[in-house]
């Protein structure tokens, strides 16, 4: 066991205290919303709800789960998250594999353009005009294609591919594998930690996607969950839920809190399944110089 000097012990104690306070400051709002989602509207309006439900009730969740528009928006978001993330991983892997080849002609120019796009993103109006010219307005493609390849994730994937031993790739070629077969049978199986990490980045981005839908989508049937959540919280569009569940106007705040939990918990459930790959994938993708 390494002995610490008094100064080091003091510094460690300060760090533990600071990080504990910081963690609680991030966790308490979520706990408050969780408590409010199970509390009566009257208790919320009177400010009696802190971190524990008051006048426990399931009416808020009943109102949310009985709303057909919530389920429609939930289905849209699940579709975008699953199918969009799959497209992201396919095209990011293909481009990263090509750019990981040191002998690729124009490689440095392409990587420079990728980094340039990461620092200087496209302006709003040109982006809108491109999506419109491609006929993707008011379609779910507009929420998946514009961000098909993330420059940041692409760089991580390139670095990860470059860490794969060259001898292994040469052996695959000697066995008769082409580039696509090598990528599918050798490179991708070895890249599961990196793919899991980048897949989580893409999935969270799709699940929390909000601005793109406001910009490109007009049909309310295609609104993702986050836009529907905005309508409930900002625009107070909860009257239909109240009528469906036969609740009073005082229940609106509880319905908002329940809606936030319904929109947040599913993506949190995914994290434990990729946690074991998350740190490993992030570190391995950043070692190569």
CATH number at residue 219: 1.10.3720.10
Which pLDDT band, with edges at 50, 70 and 90, does 104 fall under?
A: confident
Q: Is residue 35 part of a domain?
A: no
pLDDT digits (tens, 9 = 90+) for 197-226: 888 889 989 998 888 898 899 888 899 988
**pLDDT of res. 118:** 84
Give the global pTM: 0.79
Q: Is residue 246 part of a domain?
A: yes
Asked if residue 140 lies in contact with residue 82, where contact means CB atoms within 8 angstroms, the answer is no
Tell me how far apart the alpha carbons of residues 258 and 244 are, in angstroms, rounded to a whole number. 15
Q: Is 229's pLDDT higher than 80? A: yes
Q: Is residue 263 part of a domain?
A: yes
Q: Which domain holds residue 203?
A: 58-284
Q: Is 288's pLDDT higher than 50? A: no
pLDDT digits (tens, 9 = 90+) for 169-194: 878 888 788 888 888 888 888 888 88
Mean predicted confidence (pLDDT) in 5-10: 84
Asked if residue 251 lies in contact with residue 58, where contact means CB atoms within 8 angstroms, the answer is no
Mean predicted confidence (pLDDT) in 7-18: 88
Q: Is residue 202 part of a domain?
A: yes
Q: Is 270's pLDDT higher than 80? A: no
Q: What percent of the chain has pLDDT over 70?
A: 87
Q: What percent of the chain has pLDDT over 90?
A: 23
CB atoms within 10 A of CB 289: 5
Q: Is 78's pLDDT higher than 50? A: yes
End-to-end distance of the chain based on CA atoms, in angstroms?
33
Q: How many domains does the chain have?
A: 1
Q: Is 245's pLDDT higher than 90? A: no
Which pLDDT band, with edges at 50, 70 and 90, does 45 fall under?
A: confident
Mean predicted confidence (pLDDT) in 42-58: 85
Q: Is residue 40 part of a domain?
A: no
Q: Which two tokens stand for residue 188?
A: 């991708």
**pLDDT of res. 238:** 56
Class of residue 108 by CB neighbours under 10 A (exposed 0-12, middle 13-18, buried 19+): exposed
Q: Is 271's pLDDT higher than 80? A: no
Q: Is residue 33 part of a domain?
A: no
Q: Is residue 52 part of a domain?
A: no
Q: Is 234's pLDDT higher than 80? A: no
**pLDDT of res. 242:** 58
Q: Is residue 150 part of a domain?
A: yes
Higher pLDDT, 47 or 274: 47
**pLDDT of res. 120:** 84
Asked if residue 117 lies in contact with residue 150, where contact means CB atoms within 8 angstroms, the answer is no
């Amino acid at each position: 066991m390494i002995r610490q000097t008094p100064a080091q012990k003091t510094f460690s104690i300060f760090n533990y205290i600071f990080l504990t306070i910081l963690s609680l400051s991030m966790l308490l709002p979520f706990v408050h919303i969780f408590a409010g989602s199970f509390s009566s509207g009257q208790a919320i309006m009177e400010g009696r709800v802190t971190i524990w439900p008051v006048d426990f009730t399931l009416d808020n969740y009943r109102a949310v789960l009985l709303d057909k528009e919530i389920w429609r928006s939930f289905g849209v978001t699940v579709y975008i998250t699953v199918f969009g993330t799959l497209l992201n991983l396919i095209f990011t892997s293909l481009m990263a594999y090509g750019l990981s080849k040191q002998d690729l002609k124009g490689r440095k120019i392409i990587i420079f353009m990728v980094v340039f796009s990461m620092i200087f993103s496209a302006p709003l109006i040109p982006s809108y005009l491109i999506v419109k010219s491609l006929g993707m307005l008011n379609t779910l493609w507009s929420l998946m294609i514009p961000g098909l390849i993330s420059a940041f994730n692409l760089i991580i994937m390139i670095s990860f591919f470059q860490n794969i031993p060259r001898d292994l790739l040469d052996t695959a070629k000697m066995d008769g594998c082409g580039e696509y077969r090598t990528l599918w049978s050798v490179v991708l199986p070895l890249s599961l930690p990196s793919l899991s990490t980048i897949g989580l980045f893409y999935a969270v981005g799709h699940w929390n996607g909000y601005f793109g839908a406001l910009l490109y989508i007009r049909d309310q049937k295609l609104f993702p969950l986050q836009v529907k959540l905005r309508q409930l919280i900002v625009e107070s569009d909860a009257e239909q839920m109240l009528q469906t569940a036969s609740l009073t106007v005082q229940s609106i705040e509880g319905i908002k809190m329940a809606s936030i939990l319904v929109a947040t918990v599913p993506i949190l459930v995914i994290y434990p399944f990729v946690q074991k790959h998350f740190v490993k994938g992030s570190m391995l993708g950043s070692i190569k110089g």
